[in-house]
Amino acid sequence: MNCEILQSSDTRANLKIDPRTKIIVLVILNLIVFGETAHYATLFMVAIPFFLLLLSKREKAALIYISAYTLALLGEIFLIPVTHGVLNILIVMITNLLVRMMPGIVMGYYLIVTTTVSEFLASMEKTRIPEIIAIPISVVFRFFPTLIEEIRTIKDAMRMRGIGFNLRTVKSPLILLEYIMVPLLINAVKTGDELSAASLTRGLGNPVKRTHICEVGFHIQDIILLIFSAVALIIFILFK
């Protein structure tokens, strides 16, 4: 198993953001995007994940995100009014899915890949969040990156056996279910058990107060993001 995946180091980031700031921005972003506000009122919040990804040196993910969102937004503005029937329904489904859900998903991705478990737990302890909430979330933080690694391993193994999305699997879709989905589900359960055991081994269930070597706290970049998000939220409420 890749140790780098489990540690989820943030060494590539040029800008250190407190985990609590990321969570607050994520909540406000989803609230505004799903609030059916005018597009120009949401563009500032939608741009936050893009710049955060750039500053964390994930240029490819940032460009994919902003390109897909821009195309979906243009399709929603210009294509939906001039199309009809099944094509209109298809465009509405795709554009709404991307415009409404992609910003939150990308911000969640940034939160997971740039936050270590130690940083998250330290910030939750400072906020006095109960361990019954903080520990399961910390396990989730490591679950998805580890699961992605398992998916890559399964795909490589199936590719060596000539199994993938090809004519053979189109004719017999049960092959995909048997050789890809079943191992994936088994590995997902196994990964969850292993991460839970690893969390307990590190003393996360110990009632004694722990110390942390990582430093978390609000800095100037956090204050700027929080002020920006608060202003966007106020504008959203006034529009409503």
Select, from the ranges 61-75, 179-193, 201-215, the one with the highest average predicted confidence (pLDDT).
Answer: 61-75
User: By three-state DSSP, how is residue 203 classified?
Assistant: coil
User: Residue 162 corresponds to which amino acid?
Assistant: G
pTM score of the predicted model: 0.78
Confidence (pLDDT) at 71:
94
Give the sign of the dihedral formed by CA 35, CA 58, CA 156, CA 151.
negative
Confidence (pLDDT) at 170:
64
In the predicted structure, residue 25 carries a pLDDT above the cut 80: yes
Enter the DSSP assignment of 14.
S
Which residue stretches of the chain are H helix?
Answer: 3-7, 19-33, 39-55, 59-74, 85-113, 117-126, 131-160, 167-171, 174-176, 182-201, 220-239
Using one digit for the tens of pLDDT, what is the confidence trace for 69-106? 999 999 988 999 998 989 999 999 999 889 999 999 99
Average pLDDT over every residue of 38-58: 87
Confidence (pLDDT) at 223:
94
User: Residue 203 corresponds to which amino acid?
Assistant: G
The ranges assigned to domains in the chain are 15-116+214-240, 129-212
In the predicted structure, residue 9 carries a pLDDT above the cut 90: no
Better-scored residue on pLDDT, 127 or 52: 52
In the predicted structure, residue 195 carries a pLDDT above the cut 80: no
Confidence of residue 168 (pLDDT cuts 50, 70, 90): low
Asked if 35 and 139 count as a contact pair (C-beta separation under 8 A), the reply is no
Segment 42-51 long-range contacts (CB within 8 Å, at least 24 positions apart): 44/228, 44/232, 45/103, 45/229, 45/232, 46/103, 48/107, 48/225, 48/228, 48/229, 49/103, 49/106, 49/107, 49/110, 50/106
Residues 6+ apart with CB under 8 A from 177: none
- The percentage of the chain sitting over the pLDDT mark of 70, rounded to a whole number, equals 82
In the predicted structure, residue 174 carries a pLDDT above the cut 90: no
Residue whose entry in the numeric block shows the structure tokens 């330290």: 122
- As a whole number of angstroms, the distance between CA 229 and CA 25 comes to 6
Using one digit for the tens of pLDDT, what is the confidence trace for 135-164? 778 777 777 777 778 888 888 887 787 776
In the predicted structure, residue 4 carries a pLDDT above the cut 60: no
Question: What is the CA angle 55-16-237, rounded to 5?
Answer: 80
Range scoring the smallest mean pLDDT among 46-55, 157-166, 176-185: 157-166
User: By three-state DSSP, how is residue 77 classified?
Assistant: helix
Better-scored residue on pLDDT, 122 or 205: 122
Confidence (pLDDT) at 180:
76
20-57 burial, b if ≥16 CB within 10 A, otherwise e?
bbbbbbbebbbbbbeeebeeeebeebbebbbebbbbbe
- Mean per-residue pLDDT of the chain: 82
Confidence (pLDDT) at 47:
92
Of the candidates 240, 192, 157, 217, the one whose C-alpha atom is nearest the C-alpha of residue 19 is 217
Confidence (pLDDT) at 227:
94
